[in-house]
Structure 1
Amino acid sequence: MSKAVIVGGGIGGLATAIALSRRGWDIEVLERAARIEALGAGLSLWPNALRALDALGVGGEVRSRAREEGSAGIRDDRGRLLSRTDVAAIRDRYGLPIMLHRADLLEILRAAVPETAVRTGISVTGVAADGVVTHATGEVTGDLIVGADGIHSVVRRAVCGDIAPKYAGYTAWRVVLAPTEPMGDLGETWGRGERFGFAALPDGRVYCFATANLPAGTETDGLAELRRRFGDWHDPIPALLAAADPAAVLQHDIYELPPLPTYVSGRIALLGDAAHAMTPNLGQGACQALEDAVILARVADEDVDLTRYDRERRPRTRMIAARSGRIGVVAQWSWRPAVAVRNTVLRLVPASAQVGALGTVLDWTC
């Protein structure tokens, strides 16, 4: 029986563990944290990710704990519509994305992995191309080593050397709250160097996210900062901020990886944020990690040469990461004349063009 050592117990690592165990592999997941859990944030999964989850055998359960997500489009900070999403056309051509809490997805994935296969509280310190993984309590050897350990991956050093993530230029806040009134579907608002979005979760709560251009490492006072920046924007943003708990607000600077020269070396393969950490503007970070897991398991099971995984995944993920990065740059423009041009162009782009542009991302099959 072949053995895989998976470094990282997040979405990509657990999905890979499921995919390989379904193919008869012995798996060992090494997770640095003492427990596998998610911070309070919502997560959208697009149809390409749902196909990957179906291939893992958990798609039905994920859907049962999610809600189908439409979109109210993009507005300016006064509430004027800039871009309307053709929800019906997206549903007919691709299927709609779903929205759920990230913790629910992790719980479903964790339950599908053999209990004894996951070791928490294990910090990996080094990986060799011959399959030896060194960690805080010893060593373990695998026929396949999977680097699913995030944007600051230790495993990536064994594949590509030291590659520093790049700050995208803006920070993000996230919060899950219970609104005083029922909310509709996803809405996003673009201002000048700032954005605010919200999406309804299946249990009636609302996931809100916001961004602002700030120097890396800028500390803010969380909810108070959000209320200062967005409290006079259009409804329902002020009401959402009024309902938020200051202790529930999370802030993280947005980083992305430069394009890597390869995702594989010897017995080692990278996936998810360890390989292609991207900005969240297309909602594809977790989706691409799920795709990675399915393809890596298939390739590793069929061929000891992992370069086929690299050829399948690197061009696609680089394309999506670059596209997401470009959207973020435009969305975060702060110079008033540029913002005026951006908003005018958004109003002129037909909804049908937006639907067609999604094809290269959503038409993936496994």
Structure 2
Amino acid sequence: MEATEEVVIIGAGISGLATALGLHRKGIASVILESSESLRASGFALTVWANAWRALDALGVADSLRQTHHRLQRIVATSASSGAKTAELPFPGQGKQGDLEVRCLRRSLLLEALAKELPPGAIRYSSQVVGIEDDGFWKLLHLGNGSTIKTKVLLGCDGVNSVVAKWLGLSKPCFAGRSAARGFALFPQGHDFKPEFLQFSGEAIRMGFLPCDDKNVYWFFTWTPTDQDEEAEHDSVKMRQLILSKMNKLKLPRKVIEVIEKSEMSGVVASPLRYRWPFDILTGNISKGNVSVAGDSLHPMTPDLGQGGCSALEDAIVLSRSLGEALQEGKLGNATEEEEYASIKKGLEKYAKERRWRSFDLVATAYAVGYMQQSEGVIMSFLRDKCFPGILARTLIKRAGFDCGMI
């Protein structure tokens, strides 16, 4: 059985849902094909910087999320080797539209906020795309259940292993040489963490602790794995032991160690960090004809800037704006299929041009930041403790100042 759709988005993650919502705000219908049976809530949380809040405001979902998540006031960096505070930088602005709004958002709540604004039936679960082929000015998608969908526009928002990115010829993401674990700690009676982004680095590890609300603290832990560590990534008990064994060798406040001790480890996400080679983003096909990619399908990056999810929201605004204008233009008068295809192609090329350098900058900077923070040696340790924390904090703030515009 073959169905026909105007726009098909593969993947119901942040970029896929946000793009569909952006198109919906412009009066353009789309269908999201999601391989899982429900919304993917893995990942626990993400740091949402000011650039992403601008995108969420443009989508009309920001206010409800603000009500359930604390606004962070500053970033505090500490040496994990010496225990000494190495930098403290306030986030400027405290109003709703302040200079730098930063909150730690629960990923499940973000996905739900985006999804509930979409029309009924916009997301089709258990719909895995296994093949893509040309069909004149259309794309023909083959699904794992044997059905096919014919579409005027195909957008890949299907993550680091994107089938659409592969079809476009983008290179396979590289291993960054580090692994990361992420999780939540629930404090039923409340925690005593201030509204701050606490960061610890040194001895080839990097950690962060961010309160989401009065009872939940999000944490991440990145390290350079050994052969023995690989087994722990697939065993929750061993993962807790691994993290605590590394933390206990460092000079850390007792309360951050308790965060790991109190965390429910059964759902902890632990995985190798991957990124797309930055120059592939500059020279590769972000778009080709009526096909393009966004989010991790375009720019998988290490988490060292906290901009993965934020840049996915930026992508969604620019993509829905560029594609929306192209589709509306293509429908003017009695445009032929060829003329409509040309308009779509032009719109996606406009999106690709606008996102190429921004994506390159974020991927390259995140990799460099992570490399310097977790490098060992006397000189690098000195630079990391004495010079780098302030530079990093200013780098984070600078990247968060980006404005992707309105839909």
| CA contact 1:192–1:335 (8 Å) conserved in 2 | no
Q: Is the 8 A contact 1:2 1:25 kept in 2?
A: no
Partner of 1:223: 240
Classify 1:193/1:284 alpha carbon distance in 2 versus 1 (closer, same or farther; 3 Å). Answer: same
Q: Give the 3-state SS of the residue equivalent to 2:154 in structure 1.
A: strand
- Range 21-30 or range 331-340, more displaced: 331-340
Describe the shift of the 1:136–1:2 C-alpha distance in structure 2 as closer, same or farther (beyond 3 A).
closer
Asked whether 1:286 is paired with 2:289, we answer: no
Shift of 1:321: 1.1
Q: Residue 114 of structure 2 corresponds to which residue in structure 1?
A: 109
Cα pair distance change 1:107/1:164, threshold 3 Å = same
Aligned partner (choices 137, 142, 148) of residue 151 of structure 2: 142
Q: Deviations over 1:152-211 (max 9, x none)?
A: 0001122125x2110111111111012474212220100111112111111411111111
Q: Assess if the C-alpha contact under 8 Å between 2:73 and 2:90 holds in 1.
A: no
1:301 aligns to 2:324 (yes or no): yes
Correspondence 1:245 to 2:264:
yes
Deviates more, 1:19-28 or 1:308-317: 19-28
Partner of 2:373: 331
Task: Decide whether the 8 Å contact of 1:171 with 1:212 is kept in 2.
Answer: yes
Matched, 1:234 2:252: yes
- Taking the TM superposition and a 5 Å limit, the aligned residue runs for 1:303-322 are 303=326, 304=344, 305=346, 306-322=348-364
User: How high is the TM-score relative to the length of structure 2?
Assistant: 0.83
Structure 2: distance between partners of 1:294 and 1:89: 24
Determine the C-alpha separation between the residues in 1 that align with 2:185 and 2:125: 29
- Farther off after superposition, 216-225 or 61-70: 216-225
Selected match of 1:11 from 10, 14, 23: 14
Amino acid in structure 2 at the alignment position of 1:263 = I
The unaligned stretches of length 5 or more in structure 1 are none
C-alpha distance in structure 1 between counterparts of 2:263 and 2:252, whole Å: 17
- The Cα of 1:68 is off from its aligned counterpart by 0.7
Separation of aligned partners in 1, 2:264 and 2:286:
41
> Are residues 151 and 210 of structure 1, via their aligned partners in 2, closer, same or farther at CA, if it must alter by over 3 Å?
same
Alignment of 1:156 onto 2:165: yes
Show CA shifts across 1:313-356 (max 9, x none). 11111111111111011011122432123222236x58xx9547
Q: Distance in 1 between matches of 2:152 and 2:128?
A: 20
Shift in Å, 1:287: 0.8
Give the letter aligned to residue 307 of structure 2.
Q
| 230-239 vs 116-125, which moves further | 230-239
Say whether 1:277 aligns with 2:300: yes
CA 1:10/1:170 → structure 2, altered by over 3 Å: closer, same or farther? Answer: same
Matched, 1:340 2:382: yes
By how many angstroms is 1:69 displaced? 1.6
What is the match of residue 173 of structure 1?
181
- Residues 93, 101 of structure 2: 8 Å contact kept: no
Opposite residue 178 of structure 1, the aligned amino acid is L
CA contact (8 A) 2:92 2:99 kept: no
- Partner residue, 2:49: 46
CA positional deviation for 1:126: 1.9
Is the 2:50–2:400 Cα contact (8 Å) retained in structure 1? no
Q: C-alpha separation between the residues in 1 aligned to 2:207 and 2:200?
A: 5
- Asked if 1:191 corresponds to 2:202, the answer is yes
Unaligned runs of 5+ in 2: 233-237, 327-343
| Secondary structure of the corresponding residue to residue 67 of structure 1 | coil
Contact 2:318–2:404 at 8 Å: present in 1 too? no
Structure-1 separation of matches of 2:117 and 2:312: 17
Distance 1:213 1:8 in 2: 30
Match of 1:60 in 2: 63
Q: Do 1:200 and 1:206's aligned partners in 2 also have CA atoms closer than 8 Å?
A: yes
State how far apart, in whole Å, the 2-side matches of 1:40 and 1:200 are. 15
Distance 2:49 2:213 in 1: 16
Secondary structure, counterpart of 2:89 in structure 1: coil
TM-score, normalising length: structure 1: 0.92
Q: State the shift of 1:280 in Å.
A: 0.7
Shift of 1:34: 1.1
1 CA distance for matches of 2:395 and 2:201?
22
Residue type at the aligned position of 2:114: L
Conserved in 1, the CA contact under 8 Å of 2:55 and 2:313?
yes
Q: Which amino acid aligns with 2:29?
A: D
Q: CA deviation at 1:308?
A: 0.6
In the other structure, the counterpart of 1:257 is 276
Cα distance change, pair 42–337 in 1 and its aligned pair in 2 (3 A): same
CA contact (8 A) 1:40 1:176 kept: no
Task: Indicate the residue corresponding to 1:76 in structure 2.
Answer: 79
2:330 alignment partner in structure 1: none
Which of residues 91, 105, 110 in structure 2 aligns to 1:87? 91
Residue correspondences, number: 362
Give the whole-Å Cα distance in 1 for the aligned partners of 2:376 and 2:310: 29
SS of the counterpart of 2:203? coil
Describe the shift of the 1:178–1:276 C-alpha distance in structure 2 as closer, same or farther (beyond 3 A): same
* Sequence identity percentage: 26
SS for the counterpart of 2:298 is helix
